[in-house]
């Protein structure tokens, strides 16, 4: 038997100025099922709430309607009050008679009538409300960090330092990512590896972090707080527990001419290799695709002979491990647009046209030229270098309309590094705009122009071709009346576009996270939820979401770590019970659901699973849909899709919505 | 007839965009016609279009369905489903000879308070001109029951 | 199957040799080209500089006529005409409102889609499949193939596959027994319409093109566009004056080069109509190796 309480708020004069609140309270009291109806000046105030609580207790109310402001304002307030009074908070509804009535209509009978209509509607709804209880989902307090670059490292350290376990998976033999390849970082010209390697070591030594390098995520299933992840540990061919990192193996390895990935193809490495001297772990792996032992049926085997620790194991196979985690942080980083994408610049054709990362390796003390800027073609020191900004970015015809964000800064940095090492050299930068928006960034670019005499030319380069050993750069100076500028350069550095990691799409599909047409992972809301995805429990950090520099990657990593830490702050995850539910009935029906699973197709959150309903003997009766309350966000798209109304949304059920419509129209 | 016909219009709106937009119209004290009453849904994707028919059956003269702009749905894709549903439903109504102009489908974001007010006034006038909705006759349930009973007892 | 032909103003006038050589090659290979009856000027640069509707209407009329005369395909050798016709077809087919408007102006229906073939596509589809038996000589030369600007933009209607480094003429010249060279000025501007108003600029720009070709050892420059030909060939005296160099490298249309390799007499290919003598090319004709 319904005993509904109706509370009409004056809201000072905001409502009572145009709506006859006394009359509404009086008429509401006569509605069927209403046991108590009153009005008060400020319902949300302390005395107002006390009035409600007392009324609930005194009149043994089974549900309440507070006619006041928008539920977006105070639904929470009044639900808490209801809870204090001892009834389920979801038995409280609000009727919006301020934003939708009193504030937008003049004082009139029609306005008062409309307020009453809305109250009547919400009374009809609340009569159909049922008690709902927050959904509890257990949480495994371990985070998975995919990617060992600076973003992944930061996120892992933050979560580990908060006392939780972290599993980090990195597909390369060492962590460090692109930051480990950099020479210096803007705007301070800090040595990149000097600031990075201590963090890398910290990750390797942290008691809470389990590091898997040369490994990839194979599959992911489950949901927030309860992910099941299969990790593929690629065969390293070296037993990490025995290897001491002495380096005897790669010193002796006869395959010395393999293009070095770490040096962006400008140097060589051996088949058994550690990517760089500060690698973590500093133990080599065997590149089986280029190792004589593997490509030529067992020939060579030198490394095994010379290894003092007996760590070489040619028979190692890929292994798979299964882990359970509660949160996943994706920090898979970016790639640079490569080679044959710029035929007009001769990239890939002319050896002395290189990209930004290759220049970093030239400038780096641990690079192929020990930090001296030299032409890849003949090893000579270039006297004139042309830097081309926006190579590929901001170009609809090239298919990359976005700005790559970091190039203006690193181009200035490159020009400065060149000038610091070659005072007499000439550096030219062809640019469209200068995007130097971070702290101390613009000052950095001004320094390049004013102190290091880097010549900035506002215009694009149309073509680069080779003539007599020089690179002929054809550009234009748009600030000087669009005069064509032809430069005979010794070297050209293209600031090529930042693109998503080439493995981004398959990984996103494994994780069920969205990505845009450029394969950058999608954040849940571009403004207000930059580190979460639409998949609860999976966060983003760093350039995998969009091109960004190191400070931003680190910030975002800490932000995503804080989301994980927040998730782990209790043993159970509590969620609002506004979720969909597929009915279950007694045998022989079990459910009216026919298992068409159309709901599953339309759910944006992959929250609907199929459940096999079996009898006691274990025989399959039918397959039906089942909502994972841990994932459901309560949109109700599935409810409208269901052909036979087997799925309903708690809080906005078919019954509730129909009763609202009927009550609104039938006075 | 001295009194002007006042149409009864129901708006089925989503919580995150149009409802918030209507709230904004309120906060801004924008004035508009009293004829439209809002029923709140979490998402336009939740709206079962048969509910619209129930509304017409019970005295509604016009209906507004409004949600987030495409690509802005709080739940990512609910409004796309609502739009597709509307297109199919509208074809069906057209085929049945129903005046589909009595239903207005629109997108109003949380920032578009003025747009909401304008929409309400516009639809109110449109329905006022069309007059009350009388074509839908209440199904004579007693006749149907009699037919059913006859079938069972036979 | 009937193949339509749209010459455009240049092929009936200043670049008659392009027209004649194309027909000679086609005839040799047993292909008949039928000129669209009552075709009109495509508008070239003049129309689209003045009025967008006019720029669409002029090519649209020719397209409508081609369709009504029953042609499914139409060869358009001139790069500018191609650009205007293909561009118009692209714009109209993507926009119903524009289509209706233009149909109103020209008073004809644009119903059937006529496939516009560039000279490259024509050669690829109709000539090369049968050319082996007709190519009886080898054009023993290094050729620099020059594509100019209109064949490489805009992206939606580009006539070549690789817009920064087109290879269509290079492949064709290889079939004729020549050695196409890799060079840097394949798509650099020749000066285009400034040919008359600022011949000095054309001399500079076209001069650079010729210089690079010659520097890399080219013995002929091959083109597929009347404007390119005019600037590289007819403006040679100005080029020589500005560069103060005697540059006598001949400029051939791709159809002329192919025609020579098919043993068609030079006169029939219009090789006498050039400003720069083409004798050297003719002298390079050698017997084709078996």
Find the CB nearest B47 among A114, A640, A662.
Answer: A640
Contact criterion met (CB < 8 Å) for A100 and B22: yes
What percent of chain B has a predicted confidence (pLDDT) above 70?
94
Q: Which residues of A touch C164 (CB under 8 A)?
A: 343-344
Find the CB nearest A463 among C155, C188, C215.
Answer: C188
A65 touches A6 (CB < 8 A): yes
Find the CB nearest A661 among B10, B40, B42.
Answer: B10
- Closest Cα to residue B39, out of A63, A663, A581? A663
Q: Is residue B75 part of a domain?
A: yes
Q: Chain B contact for A606, CB < 8 A? A: no
Q: In DSSP terms, which residues pair with A598 in a beta bridge?
A: none
Calculate the alpha carbon distances from A118 to A96, A113, A221, B7, B39 in Å: 7, 9, 45, 16, 9
Q: Parallel, antiparallel, or unpaired: how do β-strands A226-233 and A319-325 relate? A: antiparallel
Calculate the alpha carbon distances from C183 to A346, C147, C267 in Å: 11, 12, 30
- Helix ranges (DSSP H) in A390-437: 407-421
Q: How many structural domains does chain A have?
A: 5
Find the CB nearest C164 among A343, A466, A472.
Answer: A343
- In this predicted model, what pLDDT tens digit does every residue of B76-96 receive, in sequence order? 789 999 999 999 999 999 998
A406 in the same domain as A491: yes
- Closest Cα to residue B74, out of A534, A94, A575? A534
Best residue of C181, C184, C216 to probe chain A, by most A CBs closer than 10 Å: C184
Q: Chain B contact for A100, CB < 8 A? A: yes
Provide CATH 1.20.1050.140 ranges for chain C. Answer: 3-117
CATH architecture entry for C135-287: 3-Layer(aba) Sandwich (3.40)
Q: Which secondary structure element, helix H or strand E, spans residue A233, and what is its range?
A: strand A226-233
For chain A, the chains sharing at least 3 beta-carbon pairs closer than 8 angstroms are B, C
Q: How many CA atoms lie within 13 A of A397 on its CB side?
A: 12
Q: How confident is the model at residue B1 (pLDDT cuts 50, 70, 90)?
A: very low
Burial (0-12, 13-18, 19+ Cβ within 10 Å), A62: buried
**What CA–CA distance (Å, rounded) separates A662 from B78?**
25
Q: Is residue B21 part of a domain?
A: yes
Q: Is residue A375 part of a domain?
A: yes
Pick the residue from chain A with its C-alpha nearest to B6.
A110
Q: Is residue A657 part of a domain?
A: no
Tell me the shortest Cα–Cα distance from B142 to chain A, in angstroms: 20
A487 in the same domain as A353: yes
Chain C residues near any Cβ of chain A (below 8 Å): 155, 162, 164-165, 184-185, 188, 212, 215
Class of domain C3-117 as given by CATH: mainly alpha
Q: Is residue A285 part of a domain?
A: yes
Q: Chain B contact for A75, CB < 8 A? A: no
Tell me the shortest Cα–Cα distance from C164 to chain A, in angstroms: 6
Q: Which secondary structure element, helix H or strand E, spans residue A472, and what is its range?
A: strand A470-477
A344 in the same domain as A483: yes
Pick the residue from chain A with its C-alpha nearest to B7.
A665
Q: Parallel, antiparallel, or unpaired: how do β-strands C115-117 and C137-139 relate? A: unpaired
Cα(first)–Cα(last) distance of chain C, in Å?
33
pLDDT at residue number C258: 96
Q: Is residue A242 part of a domain?
A: no
Q: Reduced to 3 states, what is the DSSP secondary structure of residue B53?
A: helix
Q: What is the dihedral of CA A252, A255, A257, A262, to 10 degrees?
A: -70
Q: How many CA atoms lie within 13 A of A323 on its CB side?
A: 25
- Closest Cα to residue B69, out of B61, B80, B54? B80
Chain A residues near any Cβ of chain C (below 8 Å): 343-344, 397, 463, 465-467, 472
A373 touches A421 (CB < 8 A): yes
ipTM: 0.90
Pick the residue from chain B with its C-alpha nearest to A106.
B31
Pick the residue from chain C with its C-alpha nearest to A466.
C184
A301 in the same domain as A257: yes
A264 in the same domain as A170: no
Chain-centre distance for alpha carbon A642: 32
Q: Which residues of A touch C147 (CB under 8 A)?
A: none
A404 in the same domain as A478: yes
A36 touches A61 (CB < 8 A): yes
Q: Indicate which CATH number applies to the domain containing B125.
A: 3.40.50
Q: Which secondary structure element, helix H or strand E, spans residue A8, and what is its range?
A: strand A4-9
A454 in the same domain as A349: yes
Tokens of C176: 């004729």
A84 in the same domain as A17: yes
A543 in the same domain as A516: yes
Find the CB nearest A666 among B25, B32, B58.
Answer: B58
Q: Indicate which CATH number applies to the domain containing A635.
A: 3.30.70.3270
Which structural domain range is residue B105 located in? 9-153
A481 in the same domain as A346: yes
Q: Parallel, antiparallel, or unpaired: how do β-strands A384-391 and A491-496 relate? A: parallel
Tell me the shortest Cα–Cα distance from C173 to chain A, in angstroms: 22
Q: Is residue A615 part of a domain?
A: yes
Q: Is residue B1 part of a domain?
A: no
| Per-residue exposure over A206-229, b if at least 16 CB sit within 10 Å of its own CB, e if not | bebbbbbbbbbbbebebbbbbbeb
Q: How many structural domains does chain B have?
A: 1
DSSP labels, A137-200: EE---EEEEE--SHHHHHHHHHHHHTT-EEEEEESSSSS-GGGGG-SEETTTTEEHHHHHHHHH
Whether the model pTM is above 0.90? no
Chain-centre distance for alpha carbon A412: 29
| For residue C60, pLDDT beyond 80 | yes
Residues of chain A with pLDDT under 50: none
Which structural domain range is residue A47 located in? 4-126
**What CA–CA distance (Å, rounded) separates A48 from A56?**
13
Sign of the CA dihedral with A148 first, then A153, A155, and A157 last? positive
Contact criterion met (CB < 8 Å) for B45 and A654: no
Contacts of C84 (CB under 8 A, 6+ apart): C42, C43, C44, C47, C48, C55, C58, C59
């Amino acid at each position: 038997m319904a005993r509904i309480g109706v509370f009409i708020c004056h809201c000072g004069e905001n409502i009572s100025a145009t709506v006859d609140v006394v009359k509404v309270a009086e008429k509401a009291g006569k509605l069927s099922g209403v046991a108590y109806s009153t009005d008060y000046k400020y319902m949300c105030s302390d005395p107002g709430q006390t009035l409600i609580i007392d009324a609930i207790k005194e009149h043994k109310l089974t549900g309440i309607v507070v006619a006041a402001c928008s539920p977006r304002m105070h639904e929470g307030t009044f639900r808490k009050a209801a809870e204090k009074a001892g009834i389920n908070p979801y038995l409280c509804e609000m009727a919006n008679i301020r934003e939708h009535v009193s504030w937008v209509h003049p004082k009139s009978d029609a306005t008062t009538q409309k307020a009453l209509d809305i109250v009547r509607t919400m009374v009809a709804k609340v009569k159909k409300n049922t008690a709902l209880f927050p959904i509890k989902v257990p949480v495994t307090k371990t985070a998975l960090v995919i990617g060992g670059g600076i973003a992944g490292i930061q996120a892992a350290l933050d979560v580990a330092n908060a006392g939780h376990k972290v599993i980090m998976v990195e597909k390369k033999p060492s962590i460090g990512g692109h930051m480990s390849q950099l020479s210096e970082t803007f705007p301070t010209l800090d040595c990149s590896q000097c600031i990075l390697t201590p963090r890398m070591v910290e990750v390797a030594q942290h008691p809470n972090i389990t590091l898997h390098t040369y490994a990839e995520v194979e599959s992911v299933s489950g949901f927030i707080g309860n992910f099941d992840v299969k990790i593929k540990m690629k065969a390293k061919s070296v037993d990490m527990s025995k290897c001491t990192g002495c380096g005897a193996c790669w010193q002796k390895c006869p395959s010395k001419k393999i293009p070095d990935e770490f040096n962006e193809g400008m140097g060589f490495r051996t088949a058994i290799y550690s990517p760089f001297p500060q690698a973590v772990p500093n133990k080599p792996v065997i590149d089986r695709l280029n190792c004589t032992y593997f490509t030529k049926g067992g020939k060579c085997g030198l490394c095994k002979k010379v290894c003092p620790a007996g760590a070489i194991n040619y028979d190692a196979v890929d292994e798979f491990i299964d882990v359970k985690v509660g949160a996943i942080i994706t920090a898979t980083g970016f790639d640079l647009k490569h080679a044959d994408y710029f035929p007009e610049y001769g990239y890939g054709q002319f050896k002395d046209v290189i990209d930004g990362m290759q220049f970093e390796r030239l400038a780096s003390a641990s690079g192929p030229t020990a930090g001296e800027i030299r032409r890849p073609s003949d090893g000579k020191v270039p006297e004139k270098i042309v830097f081309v900004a926006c190579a590929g970015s901001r170009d609809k015809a090239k298919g990359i309309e976005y700005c790559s964000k970091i190039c203006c800064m690193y181009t200035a940095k490159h020009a400065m590094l060149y000038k610091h090492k070659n005072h007499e050299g000439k550096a030219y930068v062809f640019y469209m705009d200068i995007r130097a928006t971070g702290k101390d960034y613009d000052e950095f670019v001004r320094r390049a122009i004013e102190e290091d005499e880097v010549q900035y030319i506002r215009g694009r380069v149309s073509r680069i071709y080779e003539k007599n050993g020089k690179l002929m750069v054809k550009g234009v100076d748009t600030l000087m009346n669009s005069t064509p500028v032809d430069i005979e350069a010794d070297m050209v550095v293209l600031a090529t576009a930042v693109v998503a990691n080439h493995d981004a799409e398959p990984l996103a599909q494994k994780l069920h996270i969205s990505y845009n047409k450029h394969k950058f992972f999608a954040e849940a809301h571009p403004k207000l939820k930059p580190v979460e995805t639409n998949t609860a429990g999976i966060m983003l950090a760093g350039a995998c979401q969009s091109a960004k520099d190191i400070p931003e990657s680190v910030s975002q990593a800490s932000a995503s770590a804080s989301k994980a830490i927040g998730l782990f702050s209790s043993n159970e995850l509590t969620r609002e019970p506004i979720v969909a539910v597929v009915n279950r009935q007694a045998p022989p029906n079990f459910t009216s659901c026919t298992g068409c699973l159309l709901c599953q197709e339309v759910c944006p959150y992959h929250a609907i699973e199929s459940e096999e309903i079996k009898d006691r003997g274990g025989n399959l009766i039918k397959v039906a849909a089942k909502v994972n309350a841990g994932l459901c966000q309560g949109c109700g798209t599935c409810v409208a899709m269901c052909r036979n109304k087997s799925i309903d949304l708690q809080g906005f059920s078919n019954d509730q919505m129909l009763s609202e419509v009927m009550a609104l129209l039938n006075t | 007839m001295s009194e002007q016909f006042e149409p009864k219009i129901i708006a089925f709106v989503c919580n995150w965009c149009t409802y918030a937009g209507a709230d904004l119209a309120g906060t801004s004290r924008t004035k508009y016609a009293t004829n439209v009453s809002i029923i709140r849904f979490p998402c336009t994707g939740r709206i079962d279009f048969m509910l619209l028919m129930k509304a017409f059956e019970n005295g509604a003269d016009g209906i507004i369905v409004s949600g987030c702009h495409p690509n802005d749905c709080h739940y990512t894709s609910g409004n796309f489903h609502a739009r597709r549903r509307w297109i199919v439903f509208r074809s069906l109504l057209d085929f049945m000879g129903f005046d589909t102009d009595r239903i207005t489908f629109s997108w109003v974001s949380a920032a578009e308070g003025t747009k909401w007010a304008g929409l309400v006034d516009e639809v109110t006038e449109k329905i006022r001109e069309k007059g009350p909705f009388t074509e839908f006759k209440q199904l004579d349930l007693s006749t149907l029951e009699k037919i059913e009973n006859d079938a069972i007892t036979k | 199957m009937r193949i339509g032909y749209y010459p455009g103003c240049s092929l009936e006038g200043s670049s008659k040799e392009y027209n004649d050589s194309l027909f000679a090659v086609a005839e040799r290979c047993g292909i008949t080209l039928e000129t669209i009856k009552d075709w009109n000027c495509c508008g070239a640069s003049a129309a689209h500089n003045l009025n967008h509707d006019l720029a669409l209407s002029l090519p649209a009329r020719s397209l409508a006529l081609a369709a009504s005369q029953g042609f499914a395909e139409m060869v358009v050798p001139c790069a500018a005409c191609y650009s205007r016709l293909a561009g118009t077809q692209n714009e109209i087919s993507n926009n119903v409102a524009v289509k209706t408007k233009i149909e109103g102006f020209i008073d004809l229906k644009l119903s059937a889609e006529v496939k516009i073939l560039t000279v490259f596509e024509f050669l690829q589809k109709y000539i090369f499949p049968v050319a082996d038996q007709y190519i009886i000589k080898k054009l023993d030369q290094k050729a620099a193939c020059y594509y100019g600007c209109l064949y490489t933009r805009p992206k939606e209607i580009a006539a070549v596959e690789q817009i920064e480094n087109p290879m269509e003429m290079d492949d064709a010249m290889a079939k004729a027994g020549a050695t196409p060279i890799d060079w840097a000025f394949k798509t650099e501007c020749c000066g285009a319409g400034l040919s008359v108003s600022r011949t000095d600029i054309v001399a500079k720009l076209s001069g650079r093109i010729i210089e690079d070709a010659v520097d890399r050892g080219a013995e002929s420059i091959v083109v597929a566009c009347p404007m390119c030909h005019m600037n590289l060939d007819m403006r040679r005296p100005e080029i020589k004056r500005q560069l103060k160099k005697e540059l006598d490298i001949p400029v051939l249309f791709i159809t002329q080069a192919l025609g020579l390799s098919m043993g068609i007499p030079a006169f029939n290919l219009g090789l006498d109509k050039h400003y720069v003598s083409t004798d050297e090319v003719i002298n390079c004709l050698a017997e084709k190796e078996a």
